[in-house]
Amino acid sequence: MAKEEKKVVKASQPEEQMTTQPKPKSIMVKPLPVILDEIEDSIGQADEAAKDARKAAEEARLAGEKAANEAARVAAQAIARVETIARSALELAQLLNATLMDAATGVEKKLSGKK
């Protein structure tokens, strides 16, 4: 912050001899009750900001839990679909295996001349 300067000119001094004095800080010229009221207001604002931050953190935590639960639900559905597809594939593989075994047995019988 730049210091604000207030020019003080005394009537008896020529203009070349003007002196500049820094403007006093507000804490030096404000009454103590006003300063204390400002401090109290600042503390109140800080307390309110902290409450808002705690509320936002709680909302974020709940949103995170909700998102995690939703992700778990979607994953469980996907796993169930994969299990269903895998069971169907296994059944088809077993049926194909049985069919090939029957065909191989039939071909073997024909080749060996057995009926």
In a domain, 70, yes or no: yes
Full domain range(s) for residue 83: 26-107
Q: How many domains does the chain have?
A: 1
Q: Residue range 110-114: average pLDDT? A: 81
Q: Identify the three-state secondary structure at position 8.
A: strand
Compute the distance between CA of residue 68 and CA of residue 70 in angstroms, rounded to an integer.
5
Structural domain includes residue 16: no
Say if 54 falls within a structural domain.
Answer: yes
- This prediction has a pTM of 0.50
The Cα–Cα gap between 103 and 99 comes to 6
Give pLDDT tens digits for 5-29.
Answer: 555 545 555 555 556 778 878 778 8
Asked if residue 12 belongs to a domain, the reply is no
Residue 83 lies in a domain: yes
